[in-house]
Structure 1
Amino acid sequence: MELRHLRYFLAVAEEGQFTRAAARLHIQQPPLSQQIQELEQELGFALFMRQPRGVVLTAPGETFAARARSVLLELDNAVVHARRVAQGQIGTVRVALTSSAAFHPLTPTAIRNFRNMYPEVAIEMNEVNAAEIIEMMLNGRADAAILRKPVETPTGLRFELLTEERMLLVLPVGHRLVSSRAVPLKQLANESFIFVRRPGAPGMYADFIRACQSKGFEPNVVEEVPRMVTAINLVAAGGGVSLVPASMHRYHQESVRYCRVTGDQAFHAPLHLVTRHDLQSPAASHFREALLTFVHQHPYRE
């Protein structure tokens, strides 16, 4: 039994006549009659009672017609659903992001814009460090990622700059340098620094460390933590000082102060979108396109 047999059968059942059914199906009447006879032989019972002016369904024919309509409707729905998946109208996009990337106002705004464009695409978000993000992307456990500086840039992944922002020094309330609007780099020589662990964010502090070395001192890193939020919490508790992207300056404002660092260069934190070159998911492709378009139309300003 083939799907065409079901369509032929239902056309005859709905038209009540082989001639009209054949015209509707754009085939000749004799082949249509032959197809129905073959279907009846396969089923082992009559589908129609022949009458002078047409045909009517038998009792088993009526039962079979109801199920046949259900089968074809389900098939049509499956085709529509699959087509929408192929077009990226429905599906799931798995997004991995670092905590500092999640704090940047561009991230939730751009993702909300994508949700408005594709309301039937689900977004699964997972907050991990940069090293884990690269592993997830390479293993196919994430479709897209937003991070600062990657641990590595494997050839299978695409890294696209979304924006850059200034890095700010984080000081506990009451620190001797709090009154400064901008702190000269060389005044930080004796400070105790709290950084995010470099295996998780290896590139975030590289420029700063090199700048310190150029001024004749090595920054004293007393603790490395898994998240920038943790670093700010430790600064608030008097554990040292840190540097974070400017977009995090609203966090813990009652306990810490944020200020710029002056020196031979400004320290910046980039924000990257990471996707695979061989994107298989149409929804993931739309996610990338939507974010890049949004960033182009709404550039971030510090």
Structure 2
Amino acid sequence: MQLRDIQYVLSVSKLGSFTEAASACFVSEPALSQAISKLESQLGTKLFLRGNGRHLTLTDAGKVFVGEGENVLDAMSALKEKMEACIGNRGKHLRLAIAPYYEKCYLSNVLASFQQSHPSVTFSIIEAMSDEGERLLVMGDVDLAFVISPRKDKSIKCKCVFDDDLVLIMPRTRVFMANMPQEDRPCSMDDFRKLSSVPFIVPKQGRRLRESVMAICKSAGFRPICSIETESSSNIYELVKSGCGVGIVPSGIIKGSNCSDIFYYALKTPLSRRQLSVAYNERASSDLALNFALYAVSMR
């Protein structure tokens, strides 16, 4: 039996299904199901009963396991805090997960301000997209995660810290600019629909920005021609600047940039609204982590 197995059982118990628990634990459903089946074999008893439909309920043994499992995880958290105190790190160090783009355009200013009044606090910054940041937070590998549209684990609490709406960018060439509005005007969905036949530079599958791009295009009545997939918003900007296609990026990417080679437009749709949130585990976060989260919120 491993701590991971306990976390799996507690997640299934809380959410009532293997599908939701697998999503919350960032594993595939077959992997989670196999792990619990193996655990039940080791224990010699079933932990769950399948009721009507796909809903699961705990057996008597399962109820005991969940109660004791919660105690085990609490004890592990307490042990970790005591060990950190022994080496002098408790309350002095924070591990933060954040995407590289937001580290540059948002977090650097918050850290500089925070350290003026808390010079003894040190930080480790782990570059991670939102899904990975949430996974690290759930597993206890970071203290806070800065994420877009948190969605995976219901134990995570979030507070908005930064507004960064999406904008349409395109190269200054006639083939892309035909029939588009003047640059200082927002782009309506009618105008946006005119781009249905031009190539789009998009994030890779699984990125939350990719989901936003696809949703905006769908609301305009078309599926974009995804000519190039790339890792980051910065890459999209550079590829659009080179004339490879059009793209949708957070507005912060163009602030402070030389925009002589591109046009950019605000998008007249609620789907372009984007917020960065600080995510924390209310049950496991230290006082310092919670205080830093509140500080980040206060700087919004």
Give the TM interval when normalised to the shorter protein: 0.5 to 0.7
Contact 1:99 1:228 (C-alpha < 8 Å) held by counterparts: no
| 1:144–1:273 Cα contact (<8 Å) kept | yes
Residue deviations 1:5-53, cap 9 Å, x none? xxxxxxxxxxxxxxxxxxxxxxxxxxxxxxxxxxxxxxxxxxxxxxxxx
Give RMSD over aligned pairs.
2.7
| 1:133 Cα deviation after fit | 0.9
For 1:1-302, what aligned pairs fall within 5 Å after superposition? 88=91, 91-105=92-106, 107-150=107-150, 152-174=151-173, 175-176=176-177, 177=180, 179-181=182-184, 182-183=186-187, 184-199=191-206, 201-202=207-208, 204-250=209-255, 251-262=257-268, 265=270, 267-295=272-300
Q: CA deviation at 1:110?
A: 2.1
Q: Secondary structure at the match of 1:123?
A: strand
Q: 1:123 to 1:164 in 2, by over 3 A?
A: same
The 3-state SS of whatever aligns with 2:284 is coil
Q: CA distance change for structure 1 residues 257 and 99 in 2, over 3 Å: closer, same or farther?
A: farther
Per-residue deviation at 1:207?
4.8
- Give the Cα separation in 2 of the matches to 1:257 and 1:272: 28
Percentage of pairs with the same residue: 17
Whole-angstrom distance in 2 between the partners of 1:134 and 1:257: 34
1:41 corresponds to:
none
**What CA distance in whole angstroms lies between the structure 2 residues aligned with 1:211 and 1:284?**
35
Alpha carbons 1:85, 1:282 under 8 Å: kept: no
| Separation (CA, whole Å) in 2 of partners of 1:178 and 1:126 | 40
Aligned-partner SS, 1:146: strand
Q: TM-score with structure 1 length normalisation? A: 0.60
Q: Which residue of 2 aligns with 1:25?
A: none
Q: In structure 2, the residue corresponding to 1:286 is in which secondary structure?
A: helix
CA distance 1:261–1:155, shift in 2 (3 Å): closer
Q: Which amino acid aligns with 2:217?
A: C
- State the TM-score, normalized to the length of structure 2: 0.61
Superposed CA deviations along residues 115-172 of structure 1, whole A, max 9, x for unmatched, are 112110001112221222122112212111212233x330232122223232111112
3-state SS in 2 of match to 1:119: coil
Give the secondary structure class of the aligned counterpart of 2:153.
Answer: coil
Shift in Å, 1:101: 2.1
**1:173/1:99 Cα in 2 relative to 1: closer, same or farther (>3 Å)?**
farther
Hey, what's the Cα distance between the residues in 1 that align with 2:102 and 2:220? 30
- Please give the alpha-carbon distance, in whole angstroms, between the structure 2 residues aligned to 1:241 and 1:249: 14
Structure 1: 5+ residue runs without aligned partners? 1-80, 296-302
Q: Structure 1: how far apart are the matches of 2:297 and 2:220?
A: 38
Q: Aligned pairs, how many?
A: 207
Q: How far apart in 2 are the matches of 1:281 and 1:113?
A: 20
Q: Is the CA contact 2:216–2:272 (under 8 Å) kept in the aligned structure 1?
A: no
- The 3-state SS of whatever aligns with 2:274 is strand
How many angstroms apart in 1 are the aligned matches of 2:219 and 2:183?
22
Contact persistence 1:169–1:259 (CA under 8 A) = yes
Note the C-alpha offset of 1:205: 4.7
Following superposition, the deviation at residue 85 of structure 1 comes to: 6.2
Structure 1 residues 180 and 292 mapped into 2: Cα distance closer, same or farther (>3 Å)? closer
Change (3 A) 1:147 1:265: closer
Secondary structure (helix, strand or coil) at the match of 2:297 reads helix
8 Å contact kept, 1:173–1:257: yes
SS class of match (1:239): coil
Q: Between Structure 1 and Structure 2, whose CA radius of gyration is higher?
A: 1
**8 Å CA contact 1:279, 1:285 repeated in 2:** no
Per-residue CA distance 1:216-268 (angstroms, 9 max, x = gap): 32122222211111111111222211111111113352433322234x54611
